[in-house]
Amino acid sequence: MNTHLSVLTLSAIIIASIGLAPAFGLDDSIVVATDKTSYQDGDTILVTGEVRDILGSPVSLIMKAPNGNLVTVAQIDVNSEKKFSTELTAGGALMKSDGTYTIEVTYGSQTRTAETTFTFGGSTAESSKGTTVAVSGTDYNLSYKITGGNLVSITPNVDAHSLTIALSNTEDGSLVITLPRSLIDAKTGEQDSTFFVTIDGEEANFEETVSDTDRTLTIQFSAGAEEIEIIGTTVIPEFGAIAVMILAVSIISIIAVSAKSRLSIMPKY
């Protein structure tokens, strides 16, 4: 009987202990949440959270896009009530795609980590820059549109049948560029073939639309990319408009000089 009573007493103590346990379990040293589950472009994202113990250091926050790319990084102070909060703005250069975004917070070490998610409807702001750029050493000006960086220059390489595009950027982006067939083309016989594109020496994928006069490429690049090379089968006619004019002037000059020389050595009667 006493044994039965002891078991009941021990069970009651265990149950009471569980009921008095703190709100934070072993894996809940930090919690985080957003004020809404869905946001639109330009909305304010209020991020709030709480820690179990004050460690005297800030909370590290990172936000990731649906494809896993880093969107933002922040350091948030913890107040005396063990709480923290910050505000982020939905949208921007690194937050354009719609989908589910993840906010992850870490406090002190990787064992104190929590995360939450929200959906984003996609950016409607025009974040691309469109203009024209001169191709070095030619009379061509190409139309292009770029996001996430700047196009610095375009230089042709006749021997390699390519165009080298210099970039300046600190974030992921894309380049849409229209290439006149008279400047650069890729053909096998009379049929169009595929350009070969590299980014910093590594082969890159791209999308293309074609017309009778132009070929337009859309090329995605990563943060820090410095050079895109587009390789075809021909680049710049051997005798472009300027070269033809120079050649014509040279030929006329040679003919004039030769004629004058012949006249000067002909005997006079």
So what's the pLDDT on residue 253?
A: 63
Whose tokens are 């494809």? That residue is 67
150 vs 16: which has the higher pLDDT: 150
121 vs 21: which has the higher pLDDT: 121
Q: Which two tokens stand for residue 100?
A: 């589910």
Say yes or no: domain 27-120 is CATH 2.60.40.1930: yes
C-alpha angle 208/96/130, rounded to 5°? 50
So what's the pLDDT on residue 82?
A: 96
Torsion sign across C-alpha atoms 53, 54, 55, 58: positive
Chain center to CA of 200: 14
For the ranges 7-16, 166-175, 190-199, which has the lowest average pLDDT? 7-16
Torsion sign across C-alpha atoms 178, 172, 39, 37: positive
So what's the pLDDT on residue 171?
A: 81
Q: Decide if pLDDT at 77 tops 60.
A: yes
Q: What is the DSSP letter of 262?
A: H
So what's the pLDDT on residue 129?
A: 64
For the ranges 14-23, 42-51, 235-244, which has the lowest average pLDDT? 14-23
Q: What percentage of the chain reaches a pLDDT higher than 90?
A: 58
Q: Which residues pair with 203 in a beta bridge?
A: 198
Q: What is the DSSP letter of 135?
A: B
The domain ranges of the chain are: 27-120, 129-239
| Residues 190-208, mean pLDDT to the nearest whole number | 95
